[in-house]
Amino acid sequence: MDFKKVTHVIFDLDGTLMDSEKILNKIITDIVQSYGKKYTPEARAKVVGTPEKDTARIVVKETGLPITADQFLQIYNERMAKELQNVPLFPGAAELIKHFYYHGVPTALATSSSKFTLNIKAKHHQKLFSLFNHQVVGGSDPEVKYGKPAPDIFLICASRFEDNPKPQQCLVFEDAPNGVKAAKGAGMQVVMIPSNKFAPELTNQATLVLNSLQEFRPELFGLPPMKIIN
């Protein structure tokens, strides 16, 4: 595979750096089931990675819930506020963020979350997250008009690095088909670590598919290699 050299790195949060997908999936499954409906893998693939407002709209439509998207969002937010307090990062996430920081590779966060849920999720990871050059909180950022799968969030994220890199200079880490589509649409290479068993046609757009962040070899993209500790 032919990978191109990059200079900047953009991370997605849920399902990529943070092990929050199974909690979000459980919350949505519970809400949908409480109305006697089913949250299918097909519906989930459409939902994962979207801003919470879109999540609500898509879930209500795809599963046929007898409530409005706003009503869903209220229940969803209440559950997230309780259940996303102590979510751990994935193995390799902190190491990778620190590695780039100490080698002077600029990194940023591009999450579909709202400020409300990001504050809850990031509470115990402040020190690490301060290593990002900046954080784009798509669900609450007025400049991000269209959420993933639209490319807006990644283009805006790239434009907020001081040296304003071209999209081709940015490497994105994502777990969701919507995020991969957004990154590719922005003209960026994307490493996908799928957070679910998605159908092959939902992963084959990615530049590289890995099972874990720990498998990532930065030198493939012209970035400083990690020290291998045996």
Ligand X SMILES: O=c1[nH]cc([C@@H]2O[C@H](COP(=O)(O)O)[C@@H](O)[C@H]2O)c(=O)[nH]1
**What residues numbered 23-42 form the site for ligand X, per CB under 6 A?**
24-25, 28
For 230, which DSSP code? -
**What residues numbered 47-66 form the site for Mg ion, per CB under 5 A?**
49
**What residues numbered 83-142 form the site for ligand X, per CB under 6 A?**
111-113, 117
- Contact call for residue 14 and Mg ion (CB under 5 A): yes
The DSSP H or E segment spanning 189 is strand 189-192
- Contact call for residue 192 and ligand X (CB under 6 A): no
Distance of CA 143 to the CA centre of its chain: 18
With CB under 5 to 8 Å by kind, the binding choice for 141 among ligand X, Mg ion, none is none
Give the x-and-dash track for 51-90 against ligand X (CB under 6 A): -x--x-----------------------------------
Q: What is the greatest pairwise CA distance in the chain? A: 55
Question: For ligand X, which is the closer residue by CB, 41 or 224?
Answer: 41
- How many other C-beta atoms lie within 10 A of the C-beta of residue 197? 9
Please report how close the Cβ of residue 81 comes to ligand X at its closest, in angstroms: 12
Instruction: Read off the tokens for 173.
Output: 């880490």
What does each C-alpha distance from 177 to 19, 92, 101, 116, 117 come to in angstroms? Answer: 17, 21, 27, 24, 21
Q: 88 burial class (0-12, 13-18, 19+ CB within 10 angstroms)?
A: exposed
Piece of 12-20, 60-68, 94-102, 199-207 that binds ligand X (CB under 6 A): 12-20
163 catalytic per annotation? no
From CA 202, how far away is CA 61, in angstroms rounded? 21
From CA 49, how far away is CA 151, in angstroms rounded? 13
With beta carbons less than 8 A apart as the criterion, state whether 118 and 137 touch.
yes
Question: For ligand X, which is the closer residue by CB, 209 or 226?
Answer: 209
Tell me which of 32, 49, 154, 192 binds ligand X, using CB under 6 A.
Answer: 49
14 catalytic per annotation? yes
From CA 3, how far away is CA 13, in angstroms rounded? 23
What b/e readout covers 200-215, taking b as 16+ CB neighbours within 10 angstroms? eebeeebbbbbeebee
Give the x-and-dash track for 146-185 against Mg ion (CB under 5 A): -----------------------------xx---------
Tell me which of 8, 44, 57, 184 binds ligand X, using CB under 6 A.
Answer: 44
Q: Which residues are catalytic?
A: 12, 14
The footprint of ligand X (CB under 6 A) covers: 12-15, 21, 24-25, 28, 44, 47-50, 52, 55, 111-113, 117, 176, 179
The footprint of Mg ion (CB under 5 A) covers: 12, 14-15, 49, 175-176
